[in-house]
Amino acid sequence: MPSTDVHTHLAPSLSRTVEGVGVDDLGRLEVDGHRIGAAGLYDAGRLAGLLAEHGVDRAWVSAPPPFYRQGLRPEQTRAWVWDLDDGLRERLAGADTLDRLGPHYLSNLLGNPVETGVAVAQLVLGGVLTRHPDLRIVLVHCGGVVPALVGRWSRGVATRRPGIAPDTEEPATAVRRLWSDCLGHRPEAVDLARATFGDDHLLLGSDYPFPMGLEDPFEALSHLPPELRRRIAGNAQVLVSTVVAP
């Protein structure tokens, strides 16, 4: 079964003028005044080379968070998403941060995993995963804070905290429908993700090309038995095979 790195990033190659987006003299994109210049974002060949070097067969590619542009109006967001999708295909073919997260790189070190937790809490406590069991959602960064907090959510449901519907599904059960990469930077984090999502729902993830990632996504699994590492590397193929066509 082919191995897949589900967490890599490249910058889109934009073929048309987009409001709020410019290009500097080196070909790097400037989005809403912010230059996005991480090494490797503009080099699909380098990503392909690293995958080959470390024995990973393929990758799923997305635009990184600096391209999200959360402040756009709904109609602008729709157009921007199309531009991102088209731009990533072309690349492969040829909300302000809160002040308290400003110091110490906390917008990334803390903000990213917490944002994942907020999103998943809404899906779980809002009953979205229960009402739509065919959804296939992949989390990154080892599920962010979800593995550490799902027990607290379960306690909130069990004690009927305000704002939680009485028929809310047990959160620890609901999150087993989610998938996550293994980029947790500690063996203990990976093991907690295993307990939270299950071995069959874990995936490779490198966060290419950012410094917080790994050149070799298998490094995050180095403490696991070889057979389990192989299973996790192939789980993306299983995930894709379970997607229900609309």
Per-residue HEC secondary structure of the chain comes to CCCEEEEEECCCCCCCCECCEEECCCCCEEECCEEECCCCCCCHHHHHHHHHHCCCCEEEEECCHHHCCCCCCHHHHHHHHHHHHHHHHHHHHCCCCCHHHCHHHHHHHCHHHHHHHHHHHHHHHCCHHHHCCCCCCEECHHHCCHHHHHHHHHHHHHCCCCCCCCCCCCHHHHHHHCEEECCCCCHHHHHHHHHHHCHHHEEECCCECCCCCCCCHHHHHCCCCHHHHHHHHHHHHHHHHCCCCC
Q: In what order do the strands lie in the sheet with 34-36?
A: 21-23, 29-31, 34-36
13 Cβ partners below 8 Å, 6+ apart?
A: 87, 88, 90, 91, 94
Q: In what order do the strands lie in the sheet with 138-139?
A: 138-139, 179-181, 202-203
d(CA 187, CA 189): 5
Mean pLDDT by 10 residues, the chain (246 residues): 91 86 86 86 90 90 91 90 90 54 84 94 96 94 98 97 95 98 97 98 97 96 97 95 72
Residue 217 identity (one-letter amino acid): P
Predicted pLDDT of residue 246: 60
Nearest to 119 by CA among 184, 70, 158, 186: 70
Give φ, ψ of 120 to 5 degrees.
Answer: -70, -40
> What is the dihedral sign for C-alpha 183, 238, 62, 45?
positive
Predicted pLDDT of residue 25: 81
Predicted pLDDT of residue 14: 86
Predicted pLDDT of residue 92: 87
Predicted pLDDT of residue 37: 83
Token pair for residue 119?
Answer: 């999103």
Give φ, ψ of 150 to 5 degrees.
Answer: -60, -30
